[in-house]
Structure 1
Amino acid sequence: MLFQVIPIKQNDRFVEAYNEAVQKAGATRLTDVTISERWWWGYVINGYIFKVEGTAVTNK
């Protein structure tokens, strides 16, 4: 969060979460993707939880 107002690095968080989900499933891609995000603010730090869920698909 830039200046506690402007969200930054949103795309990076999505790409990292998507790649982690694909890797954990041992697949090549996901279908029926659902994205959820939670933000929290503290006095000194901001926290972000980005979650990607979907159906894992592999090539035959």
Structure 2
Amino acid sequence: MTRASQRDLVAEYFAGFRASDHERILATLTDDVEWVIHGHRTTRGLLRRPSAWRVSTA
């Protein structure tokens, strides 16, 4: 994947996030993505398949 396409992918993810468009966000992720959101409370998740999220908080 080129740098330009990586930037486009991240831009698309954030555009979906700003619009609260879950389908748009999921379209940018692979089935095995793991994510961590740091903040007041750390949130972690594992995408098992595009239609289901498993979320845990630490």
TM bucket normalised to smaller:
0.3 to 0.5
Q: Which structure has more helix as a fraction of its residues?
A: 2
Q: Which structure has more strand as a fraction of its residues?
A: 1
RCO comparison, higher one (Cα < 8 Å, 6+): 1
What TM-score, normalized to structure 2?
A: 0.35
What TM-score, normalized to structure 1?
A: 0.34
Which protein shows a greater Rg? 1
